[in-house]
Amino acid sequence: MKNILLILALAICLINCKAQQIYPLNTFYKDAPNYAYMKDLENYLPSYVGTYKANFDGNEITLFITKQDMYLTDYGPGDRKYYQDVLHVKYTVKKISTGTILQDNQTPNPNDPALNKITSMGTNENDNQSVSLYYDGTNCGVGWGRITLKKISTTQMTWSYYPNSTIFSDGDCPAGTDIKVYLPDTENLVFTKQ
């Protein structure tokens, strides 16, 4: 009798459960229900995964790109939450002449996890599936903006960075804080897969 009740209870739970709704990667999050999943159905993102290098203004920039399925985006109370397949970009910027590491975001700052964070927002269907990413900026948010990665071959891609703010006036950030943006502020810089 216990088994019959258990099976009946399980069947009722399964009938009442709603399956998570899956949408194409570039679905606008407000056009989907809460906790929907924007999935990379066409598998555009995996071709960007890997380690890439480029030189710019005397610095060597190394990008470490990984893909995460079902990354939860939560803008806070009152706003919609959703899952999305994304690319995460970690990087190092090294001065070529001295070997000095100028910036390294491979280990997140426990006091400010968004510091120097780069995460994809989707692909650009009208631009051969280039990927748009959001950069949270360095200290005090300096340099936040958009980055576009575009594959030009199986081993190369271009980088275009469009910062929204690279300058703060006095008093906007604590004295002595490094607010230099070390990422290459340029368009169509070619990175080669390692």
In sequence order, what DSSP letters do the residues of 60-87 get, joined into one string? EEEEEEEEEEEEEEE--TTS-EEEEEEE
148 within some domain: yes
31 within some domain: yes
Q: Give residue-wise pLDDT tens across range 93-148.
A: 999 999 999 999 998 888 888 889 999 999 998 887 899 999 999 888 889 999 99
* 8 A C-beta contact, residue 136 and residue 116: yes
8 within some domain: no
Q: What is the pLDDT of residue 145?
A: 95
* 8 A C-beta contact, residue 135 and residue 145: yes
Domain tally for the chain? 1
Q: What is the pLDDT of residue 173?
A: 80
121 within some domain: yes
Cβ-based neighbour number of residue 61 at 10 Å: 22
15 within some domain: no
How far is residue 50's CA from residue 45's CA, in Å, rounded to a whole number?
11
User: Structure pTM?
Assistant: 0.84
Residue 168 carries which side chain, given as an amino acid letter? F
Residue 127 structural domain: 20-193
* 8 A C-beta contact, residue 186 and residue 160: yes
Residue 50 carries which side chain, given as an amino acid letter? G
Q: Which residues of the chain have pLDDT under 50?
A: 8, 10-17
In which element (H, E) is residue 9 found?
helix 2-16
7 within some domain: no
